[in-house]
Structures are given as C-alpha cells and as structure tokens.
Amino acid sequence: MKKILILSLMLVLVFSLVATAQAQVKVTYWTAPNPPQEVFWRNLSEKFNASQNKINVYVTAMVETPSSESTITNAVAGGKAPAASGNIFPGFGATLANSEAVVALDTLPGFDEIIEKRAMKEIIEGWKFADGHVYILPVYANAMLFGWRIDTLKELGFTEAPATYSGIMDVGKALKAKYPDRFLIARKELIEPTWWQRWFDFFMLYNAASDGRPFVTGNEVTADDEAVIKVFKFYGDLKANDYLLTMPATDPFETEVSIWRSLGPWSFPGWKERFPELVINKTFVAAPPPLPDDVGLSYAKTFADAKGLVIYAQRSPEEQAAIWEFIKWVFTDPINDLAWIDATGMLPMRGDLVTNSTFDRVFKEHPELIPYADEMAYAVPAIANEKFSDIQTILSDKGLVPVVLGKVTPQQGWADAKAAIEALLK
C-alpha cells in the first residue's frame, strides 16, 4: 500500500513537472560575447525565471567569429535565430529591418511604458527608422568624448580644454614649440579605410559641426556639406602642421606622446590597472568635440557608440511575446540599469541618468563617468542605413584619407565622396 502511495505521488510529481514544462514558453536571448554582459544578462534571466513560471529565458553569448553580425545573419538564414539578441547597432539593425528579420518594437504592448520609465522620449526619436518604426531598443550608449592631458595643457599655459578648431591649433603651436617630438593627436586610423573607425574621428566632429544633421536619410545624402568640408579641412590642417601622428604608437596618450584623443568609458578600467596616474580633472579631462569657430553653439553634439536589442520575426508570436515580457521586466526597473553599470562600466541609454537618484552612488564612485552622462542627450547614433559600411568606407577612401594625406582639397574630397555615396544609394 505504501509503495503504491509513493509511486502515485511520484507519478503526480512527474506529470506536474512535465505539465509545467509544457506550459512554459522557452526563449533564448543572445548577449554580446563579453563576460561582464553575459554575467549581467544571466543574473537577470535567473531572477526573472524564478519570479514566475510561464516563461523560461535562456541566456547565451553569441559567437563573434568572424563577427557577431555574420553570426546573426547565419542564424537568421538557417532559421535558428534566438527570440532576441543584443549588440545591435543602427546600421546592422537597418539590414535586419529591411530584410524583415526583426519586429517593430513600437507596435508591441508596453513599449511606451519603457520609453517613459527610462525618460527616452527624445532619445528614441533618433532611433526611428525611415518607416517611422523602432526596431532596436537602445540598451547602452557611450557618448564619445575627447580626452585631453590637462596636466600638459596647464604646462603650456592653457587652463582648460580648447572648444574650437582655432583653439586646438593654438594648443598645437604651443606644444610643438615646447615639445617638437610630441603631437596633439596620434591616430594612424586617419589614413586607414576601416569603416567603423570613422565613428571615432569623423562623426564625432561632424555631429558637433552640423548640430547632429543626419548624414544619410533613406536613400539620400543629407549631410551638411559645409560641416563635412570643415571637418575634413581641420584634420588635413592637423596633419599639414605636423600636429597629427599617423604612425602606430603604443599608448600615445597615456605616455604623453600625444595629448588629445577620442575617449570612451571602456578605457577607464584598463587605465586603473596600467596607468593609475591618469585621474580625471587631475591629469586628464573628458570634453565634448570641438566646434568650428563660426558655429555659435553652447553645446556640441557627438557620436553615440550605442547598441541595443532586437526581437526576431522568425520566432513564433508566443516566443516574441515571452521575450518581450522579459525585456519589459528588465528595462522598467532602474535598479537593473544600476546593475548594468556595475557589471560593464558603460552607461545605460536613458535620459535621466544625472537626475535619477538611483545612480548617485555610481557617479560618486566613478566621477569619470559624469561627463559621459552629461553628454548623453547630445549623442547621435550611427547611420541607420543598410549600406552603412560602404558609405563609411567611401567616406574614408574618397574623402577623409586623401584629404589628410594632402592628395586632394577638402572641397574636392567631399565632392568625390558625396558623388560616390549618391551613386551607391541609387
């Protein structure tokens, strides 16, 4: 009798488990192949799975060989896409959206709640695609700034980082007079065609000079011609005056070979280990991009190295709804954004970072992140066009690189690049 009772209980238990498992919707989320991000998403999925029993989220890192974009492409092509994935920048998002591979997130219930709770009403405007829909939910953004060696600047007689092109030229002149072997900036990428490097030189200055005017809209080049030419000329002048080093150099900013560089917050953990003498406001400062002298703005826009997540259209509506529940659960609680900063050292994309008291502790512990949070509202995401890499390669090959090398004038360089980009977009 006892045996029958135990057996019955076990059967009930097994059936219950099976029934629960069957009722549960299992979904997969692919995170960037980056240990801090993996840990962040795994922790949250475990908490979410424990908080309810209808959805089970499995988090795994995507493969990054040869690139995370090609891994996603292969998965979509093979019908094996996850329910959602992160690490998507606007250009690749455009490829996915144009291929009908991802879901328009603004059509899903609760989208507005996320936008409201993250104070992203204005930010999300920059993430709308040509058809007016939002396909990528921005997760984090590094509003790119320029780092200045304030110790050297003070030594040269400047009390703060220059904010205009002529101010920078003045610093260059003073630097060369005192240290002929040093440079304002060391950036060999300025003579290389690598398309994504343009985010960290050209687009930082272009967004500032043009007040964030879109470079491409749909299939048209809508760039501010004057702003492009000014940026080209500025980089050309830096090289012509020997203020720009285009040879490879090991840690040039850190070793004072150069005193100016584009700077993302990902550099800080490494500096803490290898260059502890680099302390914000003591040896370096992080400042917005400089402006051309005749642009009378009180702020300078910059490039946003931002990535977000997408939901894949090839998964069933139940799976899409399930992963959306998880996403809503994650992004409507600022505590999770705090955990994100603690795990990754990068700032989440939200409009209230400076004003929301949840983040006070972070900025107290990491004052170097304050300028990045301040600049967040002025950060413009990458071109949202599926030919993003070709556009930026042409910009390099026909425009910026020949101008820096002194082969063509800034006007000619932009005329050539613009004509080639227009031909590409036709």
Partner 1 sequence: MRKSRNPNRMKKVGWVEVRGWFFTSPYLVFTLIFFILPLIWGFYLLFTNWNLISPQKEFIGLLNFFEALKSPKVHAAFFTTYKAMAIFMPTVLISSLGIALLINSIPRFKGIIAVAFFLPYLVSGVAFSLVVKGVISYNSPLSPVFRQLFGYIPDWLGTPILAIIVISLMITWKLSGYYALIFLSGLSSIPKELYEAADVDGATSWIKFWKITIPMLYPALYTVMILAVGLMFGIFTEPYMLTGGGPQLATHTWYLEIYYQAFSAMRAGYGSTIAFINAIVTFISIIIIRKIMEGWGKAYGPV
Residue from 233, 307, 387, 418 in contact with partner 1 (CB under 8 A): 387
Any contact of residue 180 with partner 1 (CB under 8 A)?
no
262 binds partner 1 (CB under 8 A): no
Q: How far apart (Å, rounded) are the C-alpha atoms in residues 41 and 31? A: 7
The residue written with tokens 């988090």 in the block is 59
Tell me which residues in 390-409 interact with partner 1 (CB under 8 A): 390, 393, 397, 401-402, 405, 407
| Residue 98 touches partner 1, criterion: CB under 8 A | yes
Determine if 184 is a binding residue for partner 1 (CB under 8 A).
no
Number of residues that bind partner 1 (CB under 8 A): 43
Site for partner 1 contains 176 (CB under 8 A) = no
Are 305 and 141 in contact by the 8 Å Cβ rule? The answer is: yes
Contact criterion met (CB below 8 Å) for 404 and 201: no
194 binds partner 1 (CB under 8 A): yes
* Binding residue for partner 1, selected from 150, 257, 285, 383, defined by CB under 8 A: 257
Hey, which residues between 113 and 172 contact partner 1 (CB under 8 A)?
none
Residue written as tokens 């920048």? 89
273 interacts with partner 1 by CB under 8 A:
no
Minimal distance in Å, beta carbon 169 to partner 1? Answer: 22
**Smallest distance, Å, CB 318 to partner 1?**
22
Scanning 97-105, 323-331, 344-352, 355-363 for contacts with partner 1 by CB under 8 A, the matching segment is 97-105
Which residue, 66 or 296, is less far from partner 1 as judged by CB? 66
Q: Is 64 in the site for partner 1 (CB under 8 A)?
A: no
Q: State in angstroms the smallest separation of the CB of 395 from partner 1.
A: 14
Distance CA 175, CA 184 (A): 7
**How does strand 84-88 pair with strand 302-311?**
antiparallel
CA 418 to centroid of chain Cα atoms: 25
Nearer to partner 1, 69 or 319 (CB): 69
Is there a contact between 88 and 33 (Cβ–Cβ < 8 Å)? no
Q: Which residues are paired to 35 by β-bridges?
A: none
* Closest of 299, 300, 285 to residue 205, by C-alpha: 300
Question: Residue 205, class by beta-carbon neighbours within 10 Å (0-12 exposed, 13-18 middle, 19+ buried)?
Answer: buried
State both tokens at 277: 């003498």
33 φ, ψ to 5°? -75, 70
- Does position 307 interact with partner 1 (CB under 8 A)? The reply is no
Tell me the window of 15-23, 71-79, 303-311, 322-330 that interacts with partner 1 (CB under 8 A): 71-79
Interacting stretch for partner 1, rule CB under 8 A, among 9-17, 91-99, 148-156, 301-309? Answer: 91-99
- CA angle at 244 for the pair 240 and 249, rounded to the nearest 5°: 145
Nearest CA to 184 among 205, 206, 165?
Answer: 165
Is 52 an interacting residue with respect to partner 1 (CB under 8 A)? no
Residue 190 near residue 244 (C-beta atoms within 8 A):
yes
The one segment of 94-102, 131-139, 140-148, 319-327 that binds partner 1 by CB under 8 A:
94-102
Residue 82: DSSP 8-state: -
Q: Both tokens of residue 192? A: 């290389």
Nearer to partner 1 by C-beta: 289 or 413?
413
Q: Is 32 helix (H, G, I), strand (E, B) or coil?
A: coil
Nearest in space to 261 (alpha carbons), one of 159, 189, 164: 189
Residue 399 token pair: 């425009």
**Site for partner 1 (CB under 8 A): which residue of 44, 62, 69, 341?**
69
Binding residues (CB under 8 A) for partner 1: these are 66-67, 69-70, 73-74, 76-77, 92, 95-96, 98-101, 186, 188-189, 191-195, 197, 245-250, 252, 255, 257, 386-387, 389-390, 393, 397, 401-402, 405, 407
